[in-house]
A = this chain, B = another copy of it.
Amino acid sequence: MRADAVRNLEAVLTTGARMLAADPGASIAAIAAEAGVDRRTVYRRFASREELLAAIYEARVEAIERAVEDARLREAPVAVALHRYVEGIIGVNRKWPVELARMKADETIRDRRDALIREVDAFLERSTGEGLLRADVPAAWASSLLPQLMHLASQQLPELTDAQAADMVVDTFLRGLGGR
């Protein structure tokens, strides 16, 4: 693919992610206009709206997979892994702010998302076992609170770097659910 085409593709994907996060019903015409390309150009890369969405969600899920891998949730000390994970996801949230939960259509992406959730849940379980989190907190509560905190930090603290925002999230999370 030609270099300018790559740039256009990149623009459509990131702009699309941003606009779809703000309004899940954003039209292809609107996304294309915002990305600075013609509506027709989008249809040359993607056969349908669904395919464009799938590509965007795929970009996000892949970025998350990379972040999870980098955090080494299974091996690294829990406190270290937690911070690395949070920092990574905040970066992902800022580049690909779409909500993955909306992707009900694509089987593959849903499966990869489920696997990631299991991975993080297992990590939280390990964290509880090692005393980082209190044992009397429902697993579902910890499991859903962490993504929300990361989501919040990603957009509510725009002046902070990923690492600084991660500090805030980890601090709140551990004070809120952590052991003494």
Could you list which residues of chain A lie within 8 angstroms of chain B, going by C-beta atoms? 23-25, 138, 140-141, 144-145, 148-149, 151-152, 156-157, 168, 172-173, 175-178
Contact = CB atoms under 8 A, between A and B. Distances in A.
A132 to B, nearest CB: 14
A145 B153 CA distance: 9
A172 B177 contact: yes
A156 B177 contact: no
Contacts of A145: 149, 152, 172
Nearest to A174: B176
A156 B147 CA distance: 13
Nearest to A177: B172
Contacts of A156: 140-141, 144
Contacts of A151: 148
Contact of A141 (B168, B173, B178): B168
B168 A172 contact: no
B157 A152 contact: no
A178 B151 CA distance: 21
Contacts of A149: 145, 148
Given A24-B24, A24-B25, A157 B141 contact: yes
A18 B156 CA distance: 26
Nearest to A171: B176
A156 B138 CA distance: 10
Contact of A176 (B24, B144, B173): B173
A24 to B, nearest CB: 6
B175 A157 contact: no
Nearest to A160: B138
Contacts of A141: 152, 156-157, 168, 172
